[in-house]
Structure 1
Amino acid sequence: MKIRYLSAAIVSLFSPIAFALTPFVVKDIRVEGIQRTEAGTVFNYLPIRIGDTVNDDKVSQAIKSLYGTGFFRDVRIESDKDVLVVIVEERPAIAQISFSGNDEFKTDDLLKGLKEAGISESRTFDRSLLDKAEQEIKRLYLTKSYYGVRIKTTVSPLERNRVAINFEIDEGEVAKIKDVKIIGATKFKESTLLDLMTQETTGMWSWWNKNDRYSKPKLLGDLEAIKSYYMDRGYVDFNVESTQVSITPDRKNVYITIAIHEGEQYKISTVKLAGDLIVPDDELKPLVKVKPGDIFSRAQINDTSKALTDRFGNDGYAFANVNASPDIDKENREVALTFFVDPGRRAYVNRINIAGNNKTRDEVIRRELRQPEGAWFDRESVERSKTRLDRTGFFDEVNLQTKAVEGTTDQVDLNVNVKERPTGNVTLGVGYSQVDKVVLSAGIAQNNLFGTGNSLSLNLNTGKTNKTLALSYTNPYWTPDGISRGFDAYHREVNTDSDTISVARYKSKSDGVGVRFGVPVTEDDTINFGATLDRTNIETFDDSPQQYVDFVNQFGNDTTTLALTAAWSRDKRDSLVYPTTGLYQRVGLELATPPLEQRYYKASYQIQNFTPLNRTFTLMLNADFGYAKGYGGKPLPFYKNYYAGGIGSVRGFDDSSLGPKVKNPDGSDSDEALGGNRRIVTNAELLFPFPGMKEQDRSVRLSVFIDGGQVWGEDQKVKLSDMRWSTGVALSWASPIGPLKFSIGYPIKKEEGDKSQRFQFQLGQIF
């Protein structure tokens, strides 16, 4: 006898079960109707086991449980004597998902979004999820301002109870911001506030940055930027009252309206420090950036809180907390500030744990750390450690975090987490400069050799004027206290027999080997010294300058030089690639000494300063001085002369064209430069990011510059009035194939005979 019970569809509508069941003991269970689903899966979800007594409640519970898995379209339970028969109708499986018309998003991105919505290939098909899938696709398109997107879904049945789903997408047009209005702005111009926003109407760079597409997260960031602007200028009561975003019926244009309440400007009435002030007042007061009478500034208050926190951290208080509490007097429009200090307990570093260095040895990381184990925690030393690790160039990311040691109140562990970057590379490339024209380059380098921190490189460059083959090896920690040692070997060829360069004609081939050392004096100061043995072969031409010919007649075509070098440098720049603040200085000396035949010295001094004017603009000032002379009755070798002009010194003038010129037979100056033994180059440059580039993208930078410079010969008197000046705009790009530089320079002081060159560029690393 068979007894049939209600299907899952009916059970879901009526409860309890309408038909009475005579309870019986299950002696066996049989599953019918399954095609892809394993019988074990059904048994796993079935709440009835052999030996159980079945009644109405258990049958109802079993049907609901199996139906709830989502695997089955229908579930029925029957009895065949003492056998429980479970009959299921499986839902179809998704065999494939396809898209058409999706140009803005890659198919993989859409599939990822659908997977999060519960739809992917091989999963059970549930038609109720199609609406959710369409909404997910629309959500993705709305993030790109495709408000007119339309989606048509087609489900096609396939053999073996499978289906294919196709999403036909009509993306429509991108909705762009047509207008942005700020209502209520009286203290500042609306245009000033709009300049603070990334969301903007279509402009010159919109094709690149896409800031004319509405984005809610970007708009929220813009509102915070406007609020910060007001709060930093004393408007404590500032508030964004409403934000309205509307889209036209054709879904092509977006209008944004922001209503603000500015309030009145407040000043600081009093500033107090309260709490446990364990640091002397004379050390804390200079850190307070706000003074009575100043206009209220949230940025300065935050800077003060951070400076105080860092100061306590320098004395071992790793968990110091400084909170600024404002007491607002609305009647007098004044704010009384109290900085409450809670230094916490003083802590020392128990252990330093290093993670993420799969290749780099622990010792390479530890030698850069300035925070030792077993010493009091020092926040300044921790920050300095991070900076030194960043400067190695071995890591993409460096994070230093402190964690309290469990069970103690005065110990912390310092966790150093690094993400290594590839430090070895093989390069094959083509560069271009207006001097060397096409330059073929090849190189192999490993800046972290076998994880030791040592560097080894071999480079080959070919150019019409300059050719170089160079081998270099450096051990930055030749001694445990940080003295570096390096070796160099090179072969260089110079050929100025070209119309592309303004230097007088000669050829030279140089081979040399050298050793160098670097001694760190402080964290920012380094003394370098070394020695190089160089042998140079010189070839002159019939029309070479008489000075060149006289030098060859005196010393022959082959000259050997032993040059000793010494230099002191101080580098306080915040970055080597994209500096925005800090001072750099370098003093250098090259001395050719006995017992070899050449006798000369070259002294140089460079000072460079970066000053941030605001978050966008940085002012760079640079001055470079050089002086060279022979001694002991020997002349300065002409191939050691200084030159100026071009993209590396005074832009807008032809490369190496400034200074003394070769004399024509009639006594007039020719176009060929001789170079000189004294040089001055100055640069003032206003640096700013490339418009439309993200703030964190530091590969491209624009600038407006003023350059000045000149070269003088030994028989000339140095006169600043002789200097040539130029102005223009420049672009630098740290491209994947090497540094790229463009400049458009206009000479603003030019004398007769000077050769100008408005557009100059260099592509690729020229060694």
Structure 2
Amino acid sequence: MKRIAALILFASLSSTAVAMEPFVVSDIRIDGLHRISAGTVYTYLTINKGQPLTAEEAQSAIRALYQTKMFSDVTLDRDGNTLVIKVVERPSIAKLNLRGNHDIKEEDLRKGLKSIGLAEGETFDRLSLDRVQQELISQYYNRGKYNVGVIPHVTKLDRNRVAIDIEIREGKVAKVREINIIGNHDFTDRQIRTGFKTDTANLTSWYSKNDQYSREKLSGDLKTLQSYYMDRGYADFALDSSQVTISPDRRSAYIDTSVKEGEIYTVSDIHLLGQLRLPEKDMRRLVFLHNGDLFSRRAVEASSDAMKAILANIGYAYAKVTPVPKLDHDKRTVDLTFYVEPGPRVYVRRIVFEGNTRTEDQVLRRQFRQLEGGYYNQLAIDRTKVRLQQLGFFKTVDINKERVNGVDDEVDLHVKVAEQSAGSLQFGVGYSQYAGIIISASVTQNNIMGTGDKFSISASKSYYYTNANVSYYNPYVTESGIGLGYNLAYSKSNYGDTYLANFETNMKSFSVNMGIPITDWDGLNFSLGLSSNRINTYDGYTPQVLTDYINKIGKKTDHSWDGTVTWTRNTKNNYWAPTHGGQLQASITAALPGSTVQYIKFFGEANHYWPVGGGYVLYLDGQVGYGKTYGKDSKYDFPFWENFYSGGVSDVRGFQQNTLGPRYCTGTTTVNGKTVPVTPNHDGYCANSYYDYAQPIGGAFKVLGSAQLFLPLPFLKDINTARVAWFVDTGNAYATVQDFNVNTLRVSTGISLQWQAPIGPLVISFAVPVREQASDKRYKEQIQFTFGSQF
């Protein structure tokens, strides 16, 4: 009705203008302006001085001024040969207030309103406000809130201004009461609704909200339903209809969907047509269907994507692969043809960097696997993006290709980064059940002067240890990516203040390390270092076996120079929360001849992540550590201060930190006239000893295995912030590799939460030992956590 009234008003004004006799305009005067300048009006006028004014031109002028939406009334009049334009300005919006909106963020809502001219400072248009009201109601309908109310209030102010207050009463989402699927005979409702986001109320609805109706969610479910059938051979499956009925109180939704299953089709033949650019046999390897297979739309799409990807890796950046299935309804077969259109082969002309205000271009350029002047290679570009993200200098990395104007075979790559601070001055207070309160301070710069070099100095202290460390590393001493670094460290630990054996270490060390890349995923690191470690034991308080070891080697200070070689292969897709890929690592450390005790220490680890569907991610990890003496010192056992330990929040959960493995008593006793060390009984109890329990000392051999299933929890949508997993851990430490026995492996299971909390990284585990021994009773610990804070 309002639009009709406006048209009637426009027609009446136009007729007034048409009734005027034509004349030559000698001057133009505008009456009624207050906020809008005359110059602004002149820019929209289609009439100029000295121009004859006809009825058609007058009508055109009125129409042009109305289209500016700045005026609610426009009339033309004549004063002699002066054209008089009388206008009534629309009011300006002095204030726009939104209230009651929770589902739609105010920032997003204001952007949408501004795009249609409804913002503070703009001219007020009643039709725009009505349009906004209807659009908001439609958006809430899409969210399942059918009893929403959007009530605009317009208040007139002085100086031709208005204040707009939009009150939104969101109401509650309509709950899905019934989902009826009609026409399915080959599969049950439960089978075909497996991947649905929409469901009726169940035990998990309180947090998953899957019983809340949403038009977008239902649309996705119908696509899932169609995919379910078409991935199982039903090539002519069809959705006949889908209807949603809302109850009179708008609080309940009833969904009815009718389907036509059709018949099961097999693939009769597969053709590749067009300009393949690669040998047909190579392209056919990328087709995931074969003659006689059940038709699968998922396999068809995957085949198309694979062919486009391989073409993009050899320069055809804009290749198209179109699958065309031809159904034979009588034979129930599909003749499948892939039409390949590679387009022109594309070269990369230039690589342009944007947003790196601190980081030098060369730091980014040396990560690139796509070269300027070379054929476009999507695989190399994707790998480059990962390498840039792994630097830790940037919040976001985007690489976009843009065609070069006037050329169809060249593109420029625009690399847009958002830098984040690569340096920090930190003071920290943390806590762990093993180390207690931890105070730390550090100065770190991972991108010195934008060069990519790394420097750090740090110190930390808990009730049982103190350490300080200074390090520097240049990852690109050479253009080929060879890195060189130095590390100076000091540490002092009193293990008697923990659950471990009562002895102290005081170590100073210096090392030089070199990194050599082998591939984009593999690298070698070589390290050579000198160290001095003083070990203090205490008669009657330290397990006798450790005191005897110090007496055997005849020195309380271990002077050593050691070399380490480490190989690492990292294919994880994310640093904090991987969902696929993994890491392999193997290292060998040798205390070289001339050291107090010559030994070799090996450590290996293999882990991998697999997405298993439905948001679940399976993670498997295995570790093994082994040490032994060699050469002139092969008569000695492996030095106990280099032992491997087992148990704790990052090891076999459910047992206290580092408490699994060999345990020994303090003191000695007399047996048959001989003085021998006290040995623990079956329960780990030590008789005639300063401590009534055996103390863990670790061992020269260790194994650890862990299986975790990360769970898709709807209220934890950002897995980079938090993850929950069900786990099973197993492992132990042994005095020697010969002592290994599968029957002595400890096993635990439980739930773990990993959270990048504002106060710092937080890990909480609830674990229950399912295989233990009587001597472990003292060391069981179901709830384990560690966290830190920086300020």
1:178-327 equivalence runs, <5 A? 178-202=177-201, 210-276=209-275, 279-280=278-279, 283-327=282-326
1:701 pairs, out of 723, 728, 752, with 723
The CA deviation at 1:413 is 3.4
- Aligned partner of residue 659 in structure 2, secondary structure: coil
1:417 pairs, out of 396, 415, 425, with 415
Distance 1:143 1:220, change over 3 A: closer
Q: What percentage of residue pairs aligned between the two structures are identical?
A: 36
1:739 is matched with 761
Distance 1:421 1:144, change over 3 A: farther
The CA deviation at 1:491 is 2.8
> Given residue 749 of structure 1, which amino acid in structure 2 is its aligned partner?
R
Q: Distance in 2 between matches of 1:69 and 1:42?
A: 9
Q: Distance in 2 between matches of 1:586 and 1:429?
A: 30
Q: State yes or no: 1:518 paired with 2:494.
A: no
Q: Distance in 2 between matches of 1:49 and 1:522?
A: 73
Q: Distance in 2 between matches of 1:46 and 1:715?
A: 94
| 2:654–2:768 Cα contact (<8 Å) kept | yes
- Aligned partner of residue 739 in structure 2, secondary structure: coil
Q: Distance in 2 between matches of 1:357 and 1:546?
A: 60
Q: Which moved more, 1:570-579 or 1:346-355?
A: 346-355
> Given residue 705 of structure 2, which amino acid in structure 1 is its aligned partner?
T
The CA deviation at 1:517 is 1.0
1:13 is matched with 12
Q: TM-score, normalised by structure 1?
A: 0.88
1:678 pairs, out of 701, 705, 709, with 701
The CA deviation at 1:749 is 1.6
Distance 1:406 1:67, change over 3 A: closer
1:724 pairs, out of 746, 749, 753, with 746
> Given residue 686 of structure 1, which amino acid in structure 2 is its aligned partner?
L
Distance 1:108 1:706, change over 3 A: closer
The CA deviation at 1:677 is 0.9
List gaps (5 residues or longer) in structure 1.
1-6
1:506 is matched with 503
- Aligned partner of residue 225 in structure 1, secondary structure: helix
Q: Which moved more, 1:104-113 or 1:484-493?
A: 104-113
The CA deviation at 1:520 is 1.8
2:646 pairs, out of 628, 644, 654, with 644
The CA deviation at 1:653 is 2.0
The CA deviation at 1:736 is 4.9
Q: TM-score, normalised by structure 2?
A: 0.86
2:543 pairs, out of 528, 532, 545, with 545
Distance 1:63 1:431, change over 3 A: same
2:785 pairs, out of 756, 761, 765, with 761
2:584 is matched with 585
Distance 1:96 1:370, change over 3 A: closer
Q: Distance in 2 between matches of 1:339 and 1:10?
A: 60
Distance 1:251 1:364, change over 3 A: same
The CA deviation at 1:643 is 0.7
| 1:113–1:136 Cα contact (<8 Å) kept | no
The CA deviation at 1:436 is 1.9
Q: Distance in 1 between matches of 2:273 and 2:79?
A: 84
- Aligned partner of residue 497 in structure 1, secondary structure: helix
> Given residue 544 of structure 2, which amino acid in structure 1 is its aligned partner?
Q
Q: Distance in 2 between matches of 1:328 and 1:717?
A: 66
Distance 1:472 1:40, change over 3 A: same
1:532 is matched with 529
1:656 is matched with 658
1:93-143 residue CA offsets vs partner (Å, 9 max, x unmatched): 332233454455555554444333432223333344442243244345445
The CA deviation at 1:659 is 0.9
| 2:17–2:59 Cα contact (<8 Å) kept | no
| 1:706–1:725 Cα contact (<8 Å) kept | yes
- Aligned partner of residue 613 in structure 2, secondary structure: coil
1:152-183 residue CA offsets vs partner (Å, 9 max, x unmatched): 43333322232323334433333333343333
> Given residue 709 of structure 2, which amino acid in structure 1 is its aligned partner?
L
> Given residue 743 of structure 2, which amino acid in structure 1 is its aligned partner?
S
List gaps (5 residues or longer) in structure 2.
1-5, 669-677, 685-692
Q: Distance in 2 between matches of 1:543 and 1:83?
A: 112
- Aligned partner of residue 471 in structure 2, secondary structure: strand
The CA deviation at 1:530 is 0.5
Q: Which moved more, 1:271-280 or 1:221-230?
A: 271-280
Q: Distance in 2 between matches of 1:18 and 1:484?
A: 82
1:615-626 equivalence runs, <5 A? 616-626=615-625
Aligned residue pairs total: 756
1:107-118 equivalence runs, <5 A? 107-118=106-117
- Aligned partner of residue 114 in structure 2, secondary structure: helix
Q: State yes or no: 1:667 paired with 2:683.
A: no
Q: Which moved more, 1:45-54 or 1:421-430?
A: 45-54
Q: Distance in 2 between matches of 1:77 and 1:406?
A: 49
| 1:75–1:87 Cα contact (<8 Å) kept | yes
Distance 1:295 1:596, change over 3 A: same
| 1:402–1:412 Cα contact (<8 Å) kept | no
> Given residue 708 of structure 2, which amino acid in structure 1 is its aligned partner?
E
| 2:710–2:726 Cα contact (<8 Å) kept | yes
> Given residue 684 of structure 1, which amino acid in structure 2 is its aligned partner?
A
> Pairwise CA RMSD of aligned residues?
3.5
| 1:17–1:56 Cα contact (<8 Å) kept | no
Distance 1:65 1:283, change over 3 A: closer
> Given residue 413 of structure 1, which amino acid in structure 2 is its aligned partner?
V
